[in-house]
Chains A and B, each alone.
Chain A
């Protein structure tokens, strides 16, 4: 029997676990949260004892059935509140999985797992482009606002502006409205023409995604009901206030996202929720030695195998495509990792391929325009952890002695703070590439989660095979 470890219990990880169990494997699922579901199916805390958790969820019934099937399976160990802080590659075998169990960022609870096959399903976090004032309290990532509303019933503000690009902005606005907030407007930076071109090209390919379209239509209806306008070709180009967001500056954008001068408008607001796509969480794949596709996503073959032996990848780390596509990939990865015959899952493979086509379409419809740096000012913070501003980065990039990405990093400190570049890396890489400099998206964080020195110095609590 194959011992499969699945990292992440979102749509991809849960589907992987389900299929690996079906293939006959012994499965261990690891997740940081208390409950499975990942960000898409973020569940309310158990202590809330909610009578109607399904009212906050899309596709709750199918999800709930799957999570029960996985958790209650005799060959499955579901380990909540577990953080993987390192993967240790081994020749011709799956890497060792180093974990910390217990409350987040707490001491103690170190253990090592020794899987025969490893499925990585670590997901993504919001990408946010910087703008003047984006470091003010009251500016949230779109995902944070939704996580708080859906997962804790906390509303980030009462006069909220949602901005960025991508269909994700709609469910975020809907979650805020559902929770009783007032969403002043939803701003999609891409113009309607780009959206139409991206979404309608080869329309027949979209038919299998009809469920997704219905979901989006539901969000659109919710916005209409609350009279929240959805506007294209516009963005928040600055947030202002004394110690917190008090107003935002909105501007019309050209198709390349450079603001049209003279179109700026000031709107009083107490919160901004911004999301310009997603950054895949690649530290564990990189630590496992997985090759990346153009430096952006984990490279996988037709059966979700990575370039690293016995390591499979699924979900947003292989391409941003949303929950159904992630689940389809997870199902393939789990089945194959668990020792199942790929010839037996043609239906799953077809569903996975449709998910990949959807990812390509999403990327075409919601690109990041090249003109966004026009809204930066010299003093705009790029690295939130270290306070590195745009002026400092430009100076470093102009200095021929600092051509190497590493030198820019050391000279400006961008990416050297506690988040280790998770938030600013895409920004710094893009601004560097624009000036012809050497680009390095690090993702190389051998310590993937904070671990206290005392825990590192001591032996793991127990060694266990999976």
Chain B
């Protein structure tokens, strides 16, 4: 199994999802408003999106300390995907190395 989003209908927190869509390396990926870019990617079932020196990398620390999840957002390189809120229409490019 892959990472996934808790379905809104089953969520005890009682969410109201408003969908958004970003492109990742040109492919559309949908998420919901309020999610981080890392959350959108994980919610879409992706565990990794950056190439580190010893292999693929995705989220590790989840709070901005490890810099494993860096991506380029709308032309800005080295953005921590776990810290940046996704905005509808964002263009995300994965990175080889930081």
Q: A-side interface residues toward B, CB under 8 Å? A: 32, 34, 39, 44-53, 55-56, 103-107, 125-126, 135-141, 143-145, 147-149, 152-159, 178-180, 243-244, 270-271, 281, 381, 384-387, 389, 417-419, 422-423, 450
A55-B12, A105-B76, A137-B48 are known contacts; what are 6 more A-B pairs with Cβ within 8 Å?
A53-B13, A105-B78, A143-B62, A155-B5, A385-B98, A419-B66
Q: Is A243 within 8 A of B36, CB to CB? A: no
Query: B65 contacts A419, CB within 8 Å?
Result: yes
Say whether chain A's binding surface is mostly helix, strand, loop, or mixed: loop
B42 contacts the other chain (Cβ, under 8 Å)? yes
Q: Which residue of B lies closest to A450 (CB)?
A: B78
- Report the separation of the CA atoms of residues A152 and B83 in the bound assembly, to the nearest whole angstrom: 12
Which of B54, B55, B57, B63 has a CB less than 8 Å from the CB of A39?
B63
Nearest to A42 among chain B residues (CB) is: B63
| A107 nearest in chain B by CB position | B76
Closest to B35 in A: A152
B42, B48, B60 — which one has the most chain A CB atoms within 10 A of its CB?
Answer: B60
> How far is A147 from B4 in the complex, measured between Cα atoms in Å?
14
What are 12 residue pairs bridging A and B, where the CB atoms are less than 8 Å apart in the complex? A32-B83, A105-B76, A105-B79, A137-B47, A137-B57, A144-B82, A148-B38, A157-B3, A158-B1, A159-B1, A178-B12, A381-B54
* Distance (whole angstroms) from the CB of B71 to the closest CB of chain A: 10
Which residues of chain B (31-89) have a CB below 8 Å from chain A?
A: 32-36, 38-39, 42-43, 47-48, 52-68, 70, 76, 78-80, 82-85
- Do A141 and B62 form a contact, CB below 8 Å, given A154-B39, A385-B52, A450-B78? yes
Determine if B15 and A270 form an interchain contact, defined as CB atoms under 8 angstroms apart.
Answer: no
Q: Is the CB of B15 within 8 A of A153?
A: yes
List the 7 closest pairs (A to B, CB-CB), nearest first.
Answer: A144-B62, A45-B34, A387-B53, A47-B34, A51-B14, A104-B83, A158-B1
Inter-chain contact A387/B52, CB cutoff 8 Å: yes
Enumerate chain B residues within 8 angstroms of A385, measured Cβ to Cβ: 52-53, 66-68, 98
Interface assignment of B6: CB less than 8 Å from any CB of chain A: yes
Report Cα–Cα, A58/B75, bound state, in Å.
Answer: 39
Say yes or no: B63 contacts A147, CB within 8 Å.
yes
Whether A418 touches B98, Cβ cut-off 8 Å, given contacts A103-B84, A135-B52, A385-B67, is: yes
A residues within 8 A CB of B53?
Answer: 385-387
Which of chain B's residues has its CB closest to A146's CB? B62
With A52-B12, A153-B5 in contact, do A137 and B56 touch (Cβ < 8 Å)? yes
Cα of A48 to Cα of B6 in the assembled complex, Å: 12
A387 & B54 in contact (Cβ 8 Å cutoff): yes
Say yes or no: A384-B66 contact (C-beta < 8 A), given A137-B58, A153-B6, A244-B48.
yes
A178 CA to B13 CA in the complex, in Å? 11
Beta-carbon contact of B13 and A51 below 8 Å: yes
Q: Shortest Cβ distance from B76 into chain A, in angstroms? A: 6
Determine how close the nearest CB of chain A comes to the CB of B1; give it in whole angstroms.
4
Tell me if A48 and B12 are in contact (CB < 8 A). Answer: no
Please state if A32 and B64 are interface contacts (CB–CB under 8 Å): yes
Which of chain A's residues have a CB closer than 8 A to the CB of B78? 105, 418, 450
Q: Which of A34, A106, A155 contacts B4 (CB 8 A)?
A: A155
Specify which chain A residues have a CB less than 8 angstroms from the CB of B54 in the assembled complex: 135, 381, 384, 387, 389
Complex Cα spacing A387 to B78, Å: 18
The reply to whether B47 and A244 form a contact with Cβ atoms under 8 Å apart is yes
Minimum CB–CB distance for A140 against chain B, Å: 6
User: CB < 8 Å: which of A48, A180, A244, A381 contacts B15?
Assistant: A48
Please give, as numbers and ranges, the residues of chain B lying within 8 Å of A103 by CB-CB distance. 84-85
Closest to A133 in B: B55
In the assembly, what is the distance between CA of A460 and CA of B74, in Å?
24
